[in-house]
Amino acid sequence: MITAGDGGIRRIAMRILMAQAATTILISAVCALVWGRIHATSALAGGLIGLIANAFMTLSALRPTASAAGALGRLMFGQLMKVMVTVALLAIVARGGWANWPALLSAYAATLLMFWLVPTWMHRPRRARD
């Protein structure tokens, strides 16, 4: 049985999801203060779209499998679900006609950026203190 039993992998995944949630809240708050409710709601929607889709992928990819091929299959299925959930949620927002797209897409892009930043921050070399 192949599991993502390495606590480091699960820890990184949870930190990425938490960073995505924090980024979404921060961007939404800034939008509310600077531009108002529509921009804040749009940023919140964009961030949540990224967070929800990434949570689906993470939960799928970290489930135990019996083989390496099974693990790869789970990862590919998770990516497919991520894309499908993202497209579906973006279509729902587009049909509503209320969103400010620059705010929405900025928050969505910020959640994706967390995939790069969080692991980099976690594994940067630490300087020894004198």
Q: What is the pTM of this model?
A: 0.85
- Predicted local distance difference test score (pLDDT) of residue 122: 76
In order along its 130 residues, the chain shows pLDDT tens digits of 555 556 678 888 899 999 999 999 999 999 999 999 999 999 999 999 999 999 999 988 888 888 888 888 888 999 999 999 999 999 999 999 999 999 999 999 999 999 889 988 877 666 666 5
CA quadruple 109, 110, 112, 113: dihedral sign: positive
Q: What contacts 104, CB < 8 A, 6 or more positions away?
A: 42, 43, 45, 46, 49, 93
Q: What contacts 43, CB < 8 A, 6 or more positions away?
A: 24, 27, 28, 30, 31, 103, 104, 106, 107
Output the DSSP codes for the chain.
-B----HHHHHHHHHHHHHHHHHHHHHHHHHHHHT-HHHHHHHHHHHHHHHHHHHHHHHHHTS-BSSHHHHHHHHHHHHHHHHHHHHHHHHHHHHHT---HHHHHHHHHHHHHHHHHHHHHHTSPPPPP-
* Whole-angstrom distance, CA of residue 53 vs CA of residue 42: 17
* Main-chain phi, psi angles of 65, to 5 degrees: -135, 165
- Predicted local distance difference test score (pLDDT) of residue 99: 96
